[in-house]
Amino acid sequence: MGKIEKGVNCSVIGCKNQAERSLSKEKLAGSGLSVSGDRRVYLCHEHYKEYKKATKKDRELDRVRFR
By the criterion CB under 5 A, which residues form the site for Zn ion?
A: 10, 12, 15, 17, 44, 47
Q: Which C-beta is closer to Zn ion: that of 7 or that of 67?
A: 7
Q: Which C-beta is closer to Zn ion: that of 17 or that of 58?
A: 17
- For 29, residues 6+ apart whose C-beta sits below 8 A from its C-beta are none
Q: Which C-beta is closer to Zn ion: that of 29 or that of 34?
A: 34
Alpha-carbon distance of 14 to 51, in angstroms, equals: 16
Alpha-carbon distance of 17 to 9, in angstroms, equals: 6
Q: How far is the CB of 58 from Zn ion (least distance, A)?
A: 20
